[in-house]
Amino acid sequence: MSWDLRKSDPLFLALLALVSFLLLYNLDYRPFWQDEAETACLARNVLKFGTPRAFDGINLISQEEGREAGADHLWRWSPWMQIYLTAGAFYLAQPSTAAGRLPFAVLGILCVCLTYLLIKRHFRDLLWARLAAALLGLSVPFLMYSRQCRYYSLATILVIGSLYAFRMDWQQRWGPALLLLISFGLLFHANYLLFFTYGAAFLAAAILLYHRELPVKRTLLLAAGVVLVVLQGTVFFQIQKQGGMFDLTRIASNLQCYFQDLFQFMAPLPVIGCLLLYWLWLAAFPGGRERLQADREARFTMFLGLIVLFNILIISLAPQGEHRYLIHLYPLCAMVLGWAVCRVAAYHKVSAVLLAFLLLFTNWLHLLPVTRLNIQLRPADNSPYMLTYPNFPLKLYLSELVYGYPDVNRNLIDFFQAQARPGDTIVTTYGDLPLQFYTSCVVFGGLQGRLPEAGELPKFVVKRWHTRWNRRYDLTKSEAFILGLRLAGDYEPLVLPFADEEFGNRADPYYHRFVPDAPPLNQLIIYRLRSYDDAKTIKHLQ
């Protein structure tokens, strides 16, 4: 189906309106969880100090026992782009949950637009463009990640930007070449792990499939430009310091998790299997190279498929296997799946309609085959109303948006906003950063490694139900500190009628709950110092 480029597309506009609603509605329905709060707290410090400082004189922002900043307290653990973007939003609209999430949600909408434009402009296939945009814009994991005050949608749009530029005449014109350079340069400043893994995968796939279209001089010039942009950041962010976190024993399990995540949430195994066979037939059989050269669409989707494959192989070397490191690959999967539906449509329209329905509105094609093969990944503490179970994902997503969710961080924040005085000390084993952002208390513990002075008892202690260990598999300092307190004698336990869930509004489809469990498996317990009303600090009497 071809279309005049200048004509507006009412169906796409309707889709865009729907995606905008899904991304922007009720943005502050749940408070920031730990990772989002890290960005938000650093952004607030940017407004205060001009730079992202990990310590503001009261609270320490850290999830790595203080390794993120040096003696000057300047944040050097991750790039600053997401922090400054959030700071800009806070500057314009005051620090709040909605303001922090808004720029990233808008970028999520732009990701859908750019995906549509990429296909429409470069392949002039309207059905494919619409399908790719719809598959991305209605993908619940993508929507959830794009609503987070974090780099996810930022990195994703830069990835689509790089593909857009690559499909343009960058070999001859400077504009697209510059766009390619900017996309990669900024990707580093969005998240350097994604830059290294996606960049290497992109390059390898381009050499394999487009080597005739890579002019040596310009390619080297662009690579040198990217290296220049990246080099100062590599030194500044002390990336070599994080090399010590690499855990070779995790590579196999990371690979397994990433592939399972790919099949469960991004691209279903049966479709991937058929595409692999098709691509192999195209490339490996006699005359395959010519066929591949002639079929631009097949070559491009194979290119995207190779990027996804190489990216997963490379990212499995990183210390943590997290779904967020695949989020920038969602548009690539949407484009490949959209193309697969188009190919099926050319073969059999009824099947194409069925396939499109399954991909757009259900997760059944993703989950049923992996369940049958016994390779499904479900967390231990699981509910059937999650994306790890056959469902209508959009229905779950809308249920949460419309009816709300008893968020663990919200319940803690509400408690401390009502019960604590400014300057009161809290020690918690996790969720310290949301408390720092939303309350005026001095918050210790979490994964920051900072604890109250020896002998000083905190006013409040939150021993979360889920125990936390550090990267060396020792109990975190806050867990060990609380074990050393006389909770039974010095503190009064307050059992709140809410579940003590592990994370809160974490977007990872493996963990995210849309509907609360009834009854909850555990309850939030806050310990309040018994002499809280009498004294400000009390020496611990052993």
Task: List contacts with another protein (CB under 8 A).
Answer: 247, 249, 270, 344, 347-348, 350-351, 354-355, 357-358, 362, 364-365, 367-368, 378, 380-382, 384-385, 389-392, 466-467, 469, 472-473, 519, 521-522
Tokens of residue 46, six digits: 């940017």
Nearest approach, Cβ of 151 to another protein (angstroms)? Answer: 28
Rounded CA-CA distance 204/217 in Å is 17
Q: Is 379 left (phi over 0), alpha (psi -120 to 50) or beta?
A: beta
Of 374 and 542, which CB lies nearer to another protein in the complex structure? 374
Tokens standing for residue 296? 């631009």
Least separation in angstroms between residue 330's CB and another protein is 22
Q: Which of residues 380 and 495 has its CB atom nearest to another protein in the complex?
A: 380
Task: Report the relative pairing of strands 442-445 and 460-462 from DSSP bridges.
Answer: unpaired
CA distances from 521 to 411, 430, 516 (A): 16, 18, 10
- Residue 145 or 405 having the CB closest to another protein: 405
Between 200 and 515, whose beta carbon lies closer to another protein? 515
Q: For the CB of residue 81, give the shortest distance to another protein in the complex, in Å.
A: 34
Q: Please give the structure tokens belonging to residue 381.
A: 């503490």
Q: How far is the CB of 508 from another protein (least distance, A)?
A: 17
> Which tokens in the block code for residue 471?
């990267």
Report residue 414: phi and psi, to 5°: -60, -40
Q: Cis bond leading into 176, ω under 30°?
A: no
Q: Which is nearer to another protein, 124 or 468 (CB)?
A: 468
Q: E strands within 299-428?
A: 425-428
Burial category of 201 from C-beta neighbours within 10 Å (exposed 0-12, middle 13-18, buried 19 and up) = buried
Nearer to another protein, 466 or 536 (CB): 466
Q: How far is the CB of 430 from another protein (least distance, A)?
A: 14
Minimum CB distance to another protein smaller for 380 or for 418: 380
Burial zone of 1 (CB within 10 Å; 0-12 exposed, 13-18 middle, 19+ buried): exposed
> From the CB of 181, what's the least distance to another protein, in Å?
41
